[in-house]
Amino acid sequence: MPFFPIGGFQPLAAAWLDWFAARHRATAPQVALAWLLARAPNILPIPGTGSLDHLAGNLAAGDLELSPEDIAELTGW
């Protein structure tokens, strides 16, 4: 799975995703990982990391609970 599947790196999409993440007290990459984890049990994201802090942020995405409405909003974006 690509690591950053929601919105890519387009400036408008990135700004929207940052806003969405702030609503959940998370980062945009955490939201992207949480969205992938919520999609299906057979999806296994494998994000890269260059530091222990980044790894901790990636792991925290597993605790981010997205509602069905959140998932629909992210999927439709």
* Mean pLDDT, residues 10-31: 85
Three-state SS string across the chain, please? CCCCCCCCCCHHHHHHHHHHHHHCCCCHHHHHHHHHHHHCCCCCCCCCCCCHHHHHHHHHHHHCCCCHHHHHHHHHC
- Entry pTM: 0.80
CB atoms under 10 Å from CB of 29, counted, come to 18
- Poorest-confidence range of 17-26, 38-47, 49-58? 38-47
